[in-house]
Structure 1
Amino acid sequence: MTLALKDIRHGLFRFVLTCFGLGLLMTVVLAMIGIYNGLVADALAAVKAPRADLWVVESGTRGPFAEASSIPADTRDAVARMPGVAEAGAIAYQTVETAHAGEPLRLYVIGYETGHPGGPDRIVAGRGIGASHFELVADRKTGLVPGDTIRLGRTRYSVVGLVEGAMNSGGDPAVYVTLTDALDLQTELAPAAMRVQAARGGQPVKSASVAAILVRTTPNADVDLLTATIREWKHLGALTQADQEKVLLVSVVDKARRQIGLFLGILLTVSAVVIALIIYTMTMEKLKQIATLKLIGAPDRTIIGLIVQQALILGAAGWGIGVGLILLVKDDFPRRVVLEPFNVVVLAGIIVIVCLAASALGVRAAMKVDPATALGS
């Protein structure tokens, strides 16, 4: 190790630059891993937040995320009376484009019945919705804070609380409003559209409906039997929590997930090649010094140790710089970046394997060096 460190100090500036460049490459690799994890986490966020056991949707659909689902709001009462149902709540989803602080803001509006499943899982700042109208709880990613007001449709809402990690599969941050406000927003027509509808002799309002009924079952309830009963006697669709998560991953975000996964695989391959080339080049540049070591009688294990130790130091430094940089900048990405300790450890293992493989190429070249080379000009 002493010999490896002395050689590094001999060309310290160049070695530091190499480590920094490798660290930037590791930052990109970790960012792609985090984006991949974040895509999956965002897709499942809206499904996991209500902690439902069963999703009741429009018959013949796999809504409300993979397909549009529209059912009457009073369906909740019929479902709540079924055996095995502990709680039931109607919920509505819609995407709204508005503006805040002079910038466009795209929001995923979730309407829920207070006191029933579907509301914010955990308030991290402020409070939950306490009024029946014109209050909302927003995700931190919206940039809103308690006390702000924002226009949704033709109505201004007061922000009373904040949550974290609430968004849809597209990465749009969520806001929670009461179901009544959500249905009003859903059925609201612009004045010009109302005049056109009235002139045509129709009702100047759109019909209101909810996207799904969230069900929490009683302990020991037979979820499969309840699902079959809802489908047969209520003429509705029903998906378990596991089914809904599978639909999201297989149907909604599958292509994006596979594309990012493929790009991550390519990036890891490129990183491995770059690390191997760097280590091999460092070895080839020291061939004359290695020949000198052989000439003065240094054992092979000393030369092998020099190459392997420098390769591992280079890999460890690049990995450390990459982890530090991604932790500094990950919160500034437009989409959520989720890095698990497992991901970081696996990447460290991959770097060790690559460094050892690249060292083997360098060692092979070093072992072939003729000691007489050290006497050449």
Structure 2
Amino acid sequence: MNLALRDIRHRAGRFVLTAVGLSLLLGVVMSMIGIYRGLVDDALALARAPAAELWVVEGGTRGPFAEASRIPRDTRAAIARLDGVAAAGAVTYQSLQVSVDGRPLRLFVVGHELDRPGGPTAIADGRAIERSHFELVVDRRTGLKLGERLRLGTDTFTVVGRTKGQVDSAGNAVAYMTLSDAQKLQFTLEGAAARNQAARGESPNRQQVNAVVARVKPGHDPDELAQSVRRWKHLAALSQDQQESLLLTSVVEKARRQIGLFTAVLLAVSTVIIALIIYTMTMDKMREIATLKLIGAPDRTIAGLILQQSLALGGLAFVTGTTLVTLAAGVFPRRVLILPADVAALSLVVLTICVVASLFGVRYALRVDPARALGG
């Protein structure tokens, strides 16, 4: 006879409601972990999109994602001539706020050269950009459909393709256009600002880009190529691994600490709640426990009763909470990425919490006087 199971059946309603409440708390913990994983994956998605091994940026900067970077467009030709470089492409990056059917839409626009590194590596719907002007590839998250027209700056673009999962570190959908269109959008002023620039005899400089990305030939070390580029005092260079490490340390580091601290607090609260619940459940059956001790039940039987109930409560809450978060992941405004390794790790944490929380109830139960079973 399993005493823990019989006691749970006797108080099934309260046990289930308690488990549901605890599952919501553990679901928040899992969602925080998933948000962090999604944050990291989103931040790296943009850097990994060109499938490049070398990033060349303005000297003295760590751009283009960590800080501003502007270099001459013809830098691409110089990088392409380096021994070990298979292909190179110039790119620009900029954020835009537009209105689509009355709703605001935040875009991270990438300008790239056709048939060179810098554009999307995979198109989920439609096709890649083929014309030199006024074509756009956007991520599905924008909600834009193939063939839809979008006004950006002074020009109207047509959506010819869509990607999947292409966002920046802030979760904004990425849009790709040709480099010439992006330079016009980024460096050309409009309205009164343009007239003021013309009156001063200045012209927009469209021969600047934010970075040059390059792919390396097999057998060549990207770090060595980056070191070679750094000898040019007006340029800085990072390998792909360095770029990703920089993104994680400079762009998402504070978010990682914040989410980690919040998760730790939630786990501590979960421990206290489980301990309180188990302690209360133990107090409710003090006479039954005293009776067990009176008839000679060993301490391990009583400890096992409390521990099994604690594990059952934590296990049911964990499974329910994880299931709810997995089903609701698509509703979150930021991507929630649930990894099997994180689920396994959290299950071990919950197991440890349940064992630790049950110790309070076990300690109290083992100190009960068997004579209490004969009391009124």
One-letter amino acid of the structure 1 residue matched with residue 121 of structure 2: D
The C-alpha deviation readout for 1:57-107, integer Å capped at 9, x for no partner, is: 111111111111111222211211111110101111000010123111110
Residues 138 and 162, structure 1, Cα contact 8 Å, conserved in 2: yes
Residue matched to 2:319: 320
Distance 1:193 1:290, change over 3 A: same
Matched with 1:20 is: 20
Q: Post-superposition shift, 1:222?
A: 3.8
SS in 2 for 1:13: helix
Structure 1 partner of 2:149: 149
- Deviation digits for residues 268-298 of structure 1 (CA, Å, limit 9, x no counterpart): 2222222222222211221122112223443
Q: Which runs of 5+ in 1 are unaligned?
A: none
- Report the aligned-residue RMSD: 1.7
Matching residue's letter, 1:236: L
TM-score norm. by structure 1 comes to: 0.95
Instruction: Give distance in 2, aligned partners of 1:225 and 1:371.
Output: 77
Q: Percent identity?
A: 56
Deviation (angstroms), 1:316: 0.5
Q: CA deviation at 1:351?
A: 0.9
> How many residue pairs get matched?
376
Partner of 2:236: 237
Following superposition of structure 1 onto structure 2, how do residues 40-189 of structure 1 map, counting pairs within 5 Å? 40-189=40-189
Task: Please give the secondary structure, in 2, of the residue aligned with 1:105.
Answer: strand
Within 1, Cα distance between the matches of 2:367 and 2:252?
52
> What is the correspondence of 1:202-217 to structure 2 with a 5 Å cutoff?
202-203=202-203, 205-217=204-216
What TM-score do the two structures reach when normalised by structure 2?
A: 0.95
Per-residue deviation at 1:258?
A: 1.6
Distance 1:224 1:121 in 2: 23
Q: Aligned partners of 1:34 and 1:115: how far apart in 2? A: 36
Q: Does 1:274 align with 2:273?
A: yes
Deviates further, 221-230 or 259-268: 221-230
CA displacement at 1:200 relative to structure 2: 3.2
- What CA distance in whole angstroms lies between the structure 1 residues aligned with 2:141 and 2:348? 33
Distance in structure 2 (CA, Å) of the matches to 1:233 and 1:13: 73
CA distance in 2, matches of 1:38, 1:223: 28
Matching of residue 253 in structure 1 with residue 252 in structure 2: yes
CA distance in structure 1 between the aligned counterparts of 2:30 and 2:103, rounded to whole angstroms = 30
Question: What one-letter code is carried by the residue in structure 2 that aligns with 1:252?
Answer: V
Alpha-carbon separation, structure 1, partners of 2:270 and 2:146: 44
Code of the aligned partner of 1:101 = D
Give the deviation of 1:223 after TM superposition: 3.0
Superposed structure 1 runs of 4+ greater than 4 Å apart? none
- The answer (yes or no) to whether the contact 2:4–2:305 under 8 Å persists in 1 is yes
Deviations 1:201-231 (A, max 9, x none): 433x354411111011111124344223322
Distance 1:222 1:352 in 2: 45
